[in-house]
């Protein structure tokens, strides 16, 4: 069965600083990987996804993520954080070619200092 | 395109009662999934429906059930509510392929007293 870990429960960065959120997954085959963001009281919004091909994927809001098979990682990055990026971020792995039972990581809460 | 719509946004129920939550997917999406989100357990998969059939199921007791209608709208029912069922229930729709991203609604906040 697939699993996802996000080692950092809470990260605080200053506005304008760079950001990297870590995600490690466990899955027997080539995974489908996703990053979502959740603001308080809201649902989850898709930031980006990886299926195959180029291991560096671009998403919305200036985010990017890099898939590293050798490290079973899919870390999310942003070169310059904005105050509006404060939210909770979830990494998820898809189950494969059939079905939509995604497994989500525990989330990383991002705080942004002015 | 309209997004995923969940109703109601908030519910307060008493232990032992039952509740029905509703979800309208994005037009054209045939898959609807339900997730429970709590501070302690995070996001947990409940079940997925595709073309009116339950295709996947998570590890929840039989008190949690769902269904999908021919227009892809879905309902989730929880019977004999327990205090531990208090959570944010999220519905997500997709095109239903394994690599299809989920599109989430804003959730229904259920409080059981």
Whether the CB of A109 is below 8 Å from some CB of chain B: the reply is no
pLDDT in tens, A35-80: 999 998 889 999 999 988 889 999 999 999 999 999 999 999 999 9
Q: H or E stretch including A78?
A: strand A73-78
Chain B residue with CA closest to A42: the answer is B106
- Would the CB atoms of A43 and B106 count as touching at under 8 Å? yes
> Are the C-beta atoms of residues A23 and A5 closer than 8 Å to each other?
yes
**Between A11 and B95, whose confidence is greater?**
A11
- pLDDT tens per residue, range B58-87: 999 999 999 999 999 999 999 999 999 999
Distance from CA of B64 to the nearest CA of A (A): 16
pLDDT for residue A102: 86
Written as one string, the DSSP assignment of B24-77 is: EPPTT--EEEEEEEETTTEEEEEEEEETTEEEEE-S--TTEEEEE-TTS-EEEE
Longest dimension (CA), chain A: 44
From chain B, the residues in CB contact with A29 under 8 A are none
pLDDT, position A1: 76
The minimum CA-CA distance between A106 and chain B, rounded to whole Å, is 6
Residues in Cβ contact with A26 at an 8 Å cutoff, skipping those fewer than 6 apart:
A2, A3, A4, A72
Tens digits of residue pLDDT in A83-105: 999 999 999 998 655 656 789 99
């Amino acid at each position: 069965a697939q699993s996802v870990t996000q080692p950092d429960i809470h990260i605080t960065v200053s506005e304008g600083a760079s950001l990297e959120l870590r995600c490690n997954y466990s899955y027997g085959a080539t995974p489908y990987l996703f990053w979502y963001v959740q603001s308080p009281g809201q649902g989850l919004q898709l930031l980006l996804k990886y299926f195959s091909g180029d291991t560096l994927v671009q998403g919305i809001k200036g985010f990017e993520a890099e898939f590293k098979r050798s490290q079973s990682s899919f870390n999310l990055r942003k070169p310059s954080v904005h105050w509006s990026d404060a939210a909770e971020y979830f990494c998820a792995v898809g189950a494969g070619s059939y079905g939509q039972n995604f497994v989500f990581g525990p989330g990383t809460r991002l705080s942004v200092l002015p | 395109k309209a997004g995923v719509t969940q109703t109601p946004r908030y519910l307060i129920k008493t232990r032992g009662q039952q509740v029905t939550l509703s979800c309208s997917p994005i037009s054209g999406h045939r898959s609807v999934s339900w997730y429970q989100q709590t501070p302690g357990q995070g996001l947990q998969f409940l079940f997925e429906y595709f073309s009116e059939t339950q295709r996947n199921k998570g590890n929840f007791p039989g008190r949690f059930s769902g269904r999908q209608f021919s227009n892809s709208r879905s309902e989730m029912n929880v019977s004999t509510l327990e205090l531990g069922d208090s959570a944010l229930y999220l519905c997500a729709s997709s095109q239903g392929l394994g690599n299809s991203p989920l599109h989430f609604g804003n959730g229904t906040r259920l409080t059981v007293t």
